[in-house]
């Protein structure tokens, strides 16, 4: 005979209400008690009747995640953080993959029409004013991850600062011919991270009296193959860059491949710095700007569960810290590759 919620409560030595609060992801339960309840659930192989719970609570017991390009390493890491939190609750995860503007419109329409989610996490994308109004009118608690808006709760980083950080690192090593490769600075989705990193890059150059060289700046698709092509356009220049700042680690990998094709040693002939600090970055010894990818997913989900429970209408913006992780792809420019300042 299947175990019941009363069996779990008896096994854990707590009340049925406490078990219910744990199942609902409530924070009004101590970690010790939560652990006892979860252990009892595992010991008894208790499986809640999700359909009955949804009907009784008047909820879908589903959290939606809307994001562009789920296969991007940075998005994958954030999803890992989201899933790790939801795994401790009874909420299911519904993914909405946005790759085109029409798909974006369809996803939002789907969310509103079917009342499919109790809460929504939006990764990287910034909702339009009209979308924000509809979210509020539909009473769908929403948290932005890797994006910010005064009208919605958000977990983000300061990408302008990150761009300055990466460029200043290269400048401190003595580089003055510094290239920049990123995703499109202006895109249909309203994602401003690449543009903000470029602004930081420009500011850092200006602080040492350097102007941005148009032939040192390339924007395009955010994958290693596109970055390889963009880097190659810089590396054929007679006064090629001695260092390149990639606005993502995936693009940095493409730059490393281009350097190899041009028989350039990294970091002796060309320094490369990435952005994100994805898991692969450590294995290829890539110097990069670390942002807490998985942590942003966990904190964003915890924030969402809290506002779903407390109905907190005052938007809270959280900025997570970032820092340089110096590894083996950056070094002072060689005499051969540099020019007098």
CATH of domain 159-291: 3.40.50.2300
- Which residue carries 């909702």 as its tokens? 127
pLDDT at 51: 47
Lowest mean pLDDT among 17-31, 269-283, 295-309: 17-31
Q: Which residue did the predictor score with more confidence, 64 or 328?
A: 328
- DSSP strand E in the chain: where? 62-68, 92-98, 119-123, 142-145, 153-156, 178-183, 217-220, 243-246, 271-276, 287-290, 317-319, 323-325
- Which residue carries 């983000």 as its tokens? 156
Strands 92-98, 119-123: pairing kind: unpaired
Same fold, 58-157+292-321 and 159-291: yes
Res 340 pLDDT > 70: no
- Which residue carries 């309840």 as its tokens? 37
pTM, to two decimals: 0.79
Rounded mean pLDDT, 238-259: 97
pLDDT (tens digit, 9 = 90+) per residue, 37-82? 888 888 888 876 554 555 445 567 889 898 887 788 899 999 999 9
* CATH class for the region spanning 58-157+292-321: alpha beta
User: Which range among 61-65, 91-95, 153-157 has the greatest average pLDDT?
Assistant: 153-157
What does pLDDT average to over the chain? Answer: 88
What ranges do the domains of the chain cover?
Answer: 5-48, 58-157+292-321, 159-291
Domain 5-48 has CATH 1.10.260.40: yes
């Amino acid at each position: 005979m299947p175990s019941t919620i009363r069996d779990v409560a008896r096994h854990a030595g707590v009340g049925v209400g406490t078990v219910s609060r744990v199942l609902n992801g409530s924070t009004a339960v101590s970690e010790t008690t939560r652990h006892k309840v979860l252990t009892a659930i595992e010991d008894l192989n208790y499986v809640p009747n999700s359909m009955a719970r949804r009907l009784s609570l008047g909820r879908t017991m589903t959290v939606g995640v809307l994001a562009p390009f789920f296969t991007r390493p940075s998005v994958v890491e954030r999803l890992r953080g989201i899933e790790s939190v939801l795994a401790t609750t009874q909420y299911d995860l519904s993914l909405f993959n946005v790759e085109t503007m029409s798909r974006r419109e369809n996803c939002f329409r789907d969310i509103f029409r079917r009342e499919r989610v109790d809460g929504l996490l939006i990764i990287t994308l910034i909702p339009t004013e009209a979308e924000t109004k509809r979210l509020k009118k539909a009473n769908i608690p929403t948290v932005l991850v890797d994006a910010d808006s005064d009208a919605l709760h958000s977990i983000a980083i300061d990408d302008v600062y990150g761009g300055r950080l990466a460029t200043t690192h290269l400048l401190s090593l003595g580089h003055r011919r510094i290239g920049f490769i990123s995703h499109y600075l202006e895109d249909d989705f309203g994602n401003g991270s690449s543009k903000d990193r470029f602004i930081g890059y420009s500011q850092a150059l200006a602080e040492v009296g350097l102007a941005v060289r148009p032939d040192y700046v390339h924007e395009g698709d955010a994958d290693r193959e596109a970055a390889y092509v963009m880097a190659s356009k810089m590396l054929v220049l007679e006064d090629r860059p001695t260092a390149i700042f990639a606005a993502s680690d995936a693009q940095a990998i493409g730059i490393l491949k281009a350097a190899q094709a041009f028989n350039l040693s990294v970091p002796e002939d060309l320094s490369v710095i990435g952005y994100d600090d994805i898991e692969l970055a450590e294995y290829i010894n890539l110097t990069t700007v670390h942002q807490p990818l998985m942590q942003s997913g966990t904190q964003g989900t915890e924030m969402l569960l809290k506002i779903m429970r407390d109905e907190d209408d005052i938007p809270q913006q959280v900025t997570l810290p970032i820092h340089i992780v110096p590894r083996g792809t950056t070094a002072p420019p060689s005499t051969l590759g540099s020019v007098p300042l």
